[in-house]
Amino acid sequence: MNQSLSRLVRDAGDAVPITCVTPESWPRIEAALPGPQAAYARATDFAPKAGRIALLPAADGRLAGVLFGLGDGRDRLLAGKLPGALPPGSYRFAPSENVDPTDAALAWLLGSYRFGRYREAGAERPALAPSEGVDVEAVTRIAEAVALGRDLVNTPANDLGPAEIEAAIRAVAARHGADVAVVAGADLARDFPLVHTVGASSPRAPRLIDLTWGPADAPRVTLVGKGVAFDTGGLDIKPSSGMLLMKKDMGGSAAALAAADMVMGAGLNLRLRLIVPAVENAVSGEAFRPGDVIRSRAGLTVEIGNTDAEGRLILADALALADAEAPDLLVDFATLTGAARVALGPDLPAFFTEDEALAQAVSEAGLAVADPVWRLPLHEPYASLLDSKVADLNNVSGGPFAGAITAALFLRRFAPATRAHVHFDLYGWNPSTKPGRPEGGEVQTARLVHALLARRYPKV
């Protein structure tokens, strides 16, 4: 079990029952409570609103049960509030038609996460005895993959550079018997010029990590994740406020790795490939410059309009590699633009695809597992905003408009052969704690992609 998570315990014997209540069920449940407990709930102003909690005393003062308000019941991860709010001990959910026991167990684990690398663990966390019928292994696998990804995002850049991103991928690969190839040094400079160019400013060497897993003749799914260990902006340096959180600029690779971990752990019927270009976008005499022109892996020449638009550069070469075999499905994950956050806020990653059926499936999978996303258009007429006077294209548009769309249009140029391509522009961070989503690093869209793939390519 990942140390960052609370425990699932098998024995529900003396576990304290948690009774979930909605505005409709509350009168009936209240009436059935022992008199003193009903009086206690009233005296402490309990109401069946979302996230409200009452700790009910037994006659001897011990904890007899917990009331948990569901409100309108729309937050599927609401139970993720409990592990941070309940005293240590074992709990179980009383059967209720208003809670899905699998959702509740997953939310519990996701909400129990904490990043403990640099501090003594705090108080012991409450444990959950999952309800009958919950696939404990499946839920645990998903929660552990999320915790792994969150740990990577939360780890500061002094302890997580390109080499450590590689090590993290190798560790996951070893657990699942996947193969890993890494391109670095002179080979990288020759074969992945944009990855090399962005990473050349840092003494921590850039690399292209390429994991494969599963039978060669199965449907081919390729995940690509932006692995910028830290984004200073390069010579187009960010102001301090914009740089503060940039350890999370490898959040795309963390989400892709978490999704890969879930897929391999579930043994889905597909051939998986995970490609991560890992670099640090630093400032030095070796740094690439505004105005530089680089010939990309795909052969397209790119004029550098802004060294802070580095994510699309390294992804361009990674996508060209992915596109060469035209996989059945290509998904890329990236903390790509501030513009996507301006449009949709931190909790709602943007996604782009030209495949209408795939767009529908992505939206539905997001809703199904409470990992929501929102589609933005690949508006073709904006492609000309990336025109360059000296090269095939510029890496930025000159103006302030539609930054997430122009970034997506830039990426699309590098994967022309793949018909089913989804691009996620995500934030990778919870600015404040919400149920199941503790403040800090988050692997947005990983559970969505796992759900999508589990539906398309179920284990045989």
* Contacting positions for ligand BES (CB under 6 A): 231, 249, 306, 308-311, 335-339, 341, 396, 403, 427
All residues at 6 or more sequence positions from 237 whose CB lies less than 8 Å from its CB, including other chains? 243, 283, 308
Using the 8-state DSSP alphabet, how is residue 158 labeled? T
User: Where do runs of H (alpha helix) occur along 209-250?
Assistant: 240-243
- Candidates 166, 231, 280, 303: give the one binding Mn ion (CB under 5 A): 231
Q: Which of 167-175, 222-230, 282-290, 313-321 is the region at the interface with Zn ion (rule: CB under 5 A)?
A: 222-230
318 binds, among Zn ion, Mn ion, ligand BES, none (CB under 5 to 8 A by kind): none
Q: Is 312 a catalytic residue?
A: yes
What's the CA gap between 80 and 75, in Å, rounded?
10
Q: Which of 121-129, 160-168, 226-234, 395-403 is the region at the interface with Zn ion (rule: CB under 5 A)?
A: 226-234
144 binds, among Zn ion, Mn ion, ligand BES, none (CB under 5 to 8 A by kind): none
Q: Is the dihedral angle over the CA atoms 102, 105, 107, 110 positive or is it negative?
A: negative
Q: Contact at 8 Å (CB) between 129 and 91? A: yes
- Indicate the residue among 73 and 338 with the shorter CB distance to ligand BES: 338
Residue 177: which region, alpha, beta or left (left: phi > 0; alpha: psi -120 to 50)? Answer: left
Q: Of the candidates 89, 108, 85, which has an alpha carbon nearest to the alpha carbon of residue 13?
A: 89
- Indicate the residue among 26 and 410 with the shorter CB distance to ligand BES: 410
- Indicate the residue among 134 and 160 with the shorter CB distance to Zn ion: 160
| 120 token code pair | 């003594």
| Residue least distant from Mn ion (Cβ) | 308
- Indicate the residue among 88 and 156 with the shorter CB distance to Zn ion: 156
Binders of Zn ion among 306-365, rule CB under 5 A? 311
Q: Is 238 a catalytic residue?
A: yes
- Indicate the residue among 68 and 429 with the shorter CB distance to ligand BES: 429
Packing angle, helices 136-154 and 162-176, rounded to 10: 170
Give, in order, the Cα–Cα distances in Å from 459 to each of 218, 439, 455: 11, 34, 9
| 187 token code pair | 């080979």
- Candidates 303, 308, 317, 425: give the one binding Mn ion (CB under 5 A): 308
The 182-221 site mask, x for binding Mn ion (CB under 5 A), equals ----------------------------------------
- Candidates 231, 323, 332, 371: give the one binding Zn ion (CB under 5 A): 231
Strands 374-375 and 350-352: parallel
The active-site residue, picked from 248, 312, 413, 437, is 312
Percentages of the chain per state (helix, strand, coil), in multiples of 5? 35, 20, 45
Give, in order, the Cα–Cα distances in Å from 374 to each of 181, 221, 426: 34, 22, 11
341 binds, among ligand BES, Zn ion, Mn ion, none (CB under 5 to 8 A by kind): ligand BES
236 contacts Mn ion (rule: CB under 5 A)? no
User: What is the smallest separation between the CB atom of 316 and Zn ion, expressed in angstroms?
Assistant: 14
The active-site residue, picked from 49, 238, 375, 434, is 238
Q: Of the candidates 275, 182, 279, which has an alpha carbon nearest to the alpha carbon of residue 228?
A: 279
- Indicate the residue among 163 and 245 with the shorter CB distance to Zn ion: 245
Q: Read off φ and ψ for residue 367, nearest 5 degrees.
A: -65, -40
User: What is the smallest separation between the CB atom of 273 and ligand BES, expressed in angstroms?
Assistant: 24
Residues forming contacts to Zn ion in the complex (CB under 5 A) are 228, 231, 249, 311
Residues forming contacts to Mn ion in the complex (CB under 5 A) are 231, 308, 310
Residues with a known catalytic role: 238, 312
